[in-house]
Structure 1
């Protein structure tokens, strides 16, 4: 290891950083700790330095599943950047939990961005947040951790929305804008997210499937993607309904009513019982697979 002298030049700084990243790659926690102490007392090098693969020591520790090293680096306030996204990609639940606690502690966590910082070196686009990525992975544990911290996914505006934000995003890069919308919808169709965040998962899946089918007819460039997501919602509903056991459960499901049903049918009645409301809603929202499933069970 390098010895610190009174004068630190650029060459020494570069050597410190190479040594720091090498020790992180090797998982040498004590070696990293010694260099961090040098940094703390002298500022001899940048602890947020990157290797040729554009990885910081924190990224390396996450990739190597080195929890002890992650904890040490966070104690020395290394920049978290997009590290939590790497932890989610690797489905490293313990690292995700540690990073969330750290982001809360330093006041960076917000429900909208969840503390992630996308830079020019990041492999992720700026629309990807931890909960969106966790939903893409359909990782139940990660999603629950984030929802418990009040993380949110903002539902995309209507495709024809003329608000300032949408108009500006379309003008700057219409393709990026459309891709961002698809990324969000892909997250919203996550079965784990639907189960954890919706009071009525089946109804939510009905409505989302219908919305996605409508978008497939508007955004021709992404027709296939939207149709696939719509089918995914239908499959979720069918899988949920296939869990129904016994005539009593089936009766409850078939006749379940909501305000959404009244709005769709433009009817309001006090005699909704025993009228197959959920089946009729599935048909109204063109949920063919769901309708077939309910018909077979009835």
Structure 2
């Protein structure tokens, strides 16, 4: 017997349960509050309260995840971790200090630094007793804010030479990325800033060139924007900052020509085995600096 067109167009459902199952939306798995781990609870509570520093600290762990294992391939080639104190880890005195640097509040900044000046003048033991009596927490002049900037970097970004000059009077100040920030700006206003930073006793002529990477590693002041092989003189050459590059050359800053790519000396062999990508980028950045118009015009001949 031939089936009618009505029977073909409207097939018979297999079962009632099958019809309901096929039309129902897929189940959504919802994690309740008691199923969250402590870090997720802290993250959501910070979002609810509008606590930006805590939220930034939680997100920082996502941006910099921990390696899967100690012997993981990436862990072996990665550079040593830099210990950075995030904004929520700062004590109230350090937060006040960084906020004063951001706002250009020189009196407040000077008041924060008075503790360090007094230690230098009267000795550490005398000042520790005084600090404990007043319940004042110690101040780290190299503390960083939630963006990873120190007070001197903030002052350089704001082109506040008065604050920069005040901070440079501190003996244990780490200039680090502040010098690269000043060179990056490159206008006439920051020329004086670069001059002050370069003339600081902690900066030697070797640090302006090939010794920059060692200085960055020793002070744990790595740049968030540039790799350790980008020294002040290389950055100035890349950006064709003629005036700044001329000043650095007057301080005997030099760019050493890389070895041949087939070189098998101890230094090249170690760099290739440690991090071949960084070794190649270092060579490229150096050749770019040597080929820049600013470098070639300010030196007698191109170093090729």
Q: CA RMSD in A?
A: 2.3
Q: Separation in 2 of the partners of 1:33 and 1:135?
A: 36
CA 1:107–1:30: 2 relative to 1, 3 Å: same
Instruction: Spell out the pairing of 1:99-110 with structure 2 (5 A cutoff).
Output: 99-102=197-200, 105-106=201-202, 108-110=204-206
From 251, 255, 277, the counterpart of 1:153: 255
Q: Separation in 2 of the partners of 1:31 and 1:192?
A: 41
Instruction: Spell out the pairing of 1:78-93 with structure 2 (5 A cutoff).
Output: 78-91=173-186, 92-93=190-191
Matched, 1:117 2:216: yes
Offset of 1:121 from its aligned partner? 4.5
Offset of 1:82 from its aligned partner? 2.5
> Residue 177 of structure 1 corresponds to which residue in structure 2?
279
CA 1:35–1:177: 2 relative to 1, 3 Å: same
Q: Which has the larger radius of gyration?
A: 2
Instruction: Spell out the pairing of 1:23-172 with structure 2 (5 A cutoff).
Output: 23-41=100-118, 42=127, 44-77=138-171, 78-91=173-186, 92-102=190-200, 105-106=201-202, 108-110=204-206, 112-113=209-210, 117-118=216-217, 119=220, 121-123=222-224, 124-172=226-274
Q: Separation in 2 of the partners of 1:127 and 1:155?
A: 13
Task: Describe the superposition over 1:81-115 as per-residue Cα deviations: whole angstroms up to 9, x where unpaired.
Answer: 2221111111121111100111xx34644263466
Offset of 1:40 from its aligned partner? 2.8
Offset of 1:117 from its aligned partner? 2.2
Higher RCO, 1 or 2 (CA under 8 Å, sep at least 6)? 2
TM-score by length of 1: 0.59
> Residue 17 of structure 1 corresponds to which residue in structure 2?
94
Offset of 1:47 from its aligned partner? 1.1
Is the 8 Å Cα contact of residues 144 and 196 (structure 1) preserved in structure 2? yes
Offset of 1:171 from its aligned partner? 1.0
Is the 8 Å Cα contact of residues 131 and 146 (structure 1) preserved in structure 2? yes
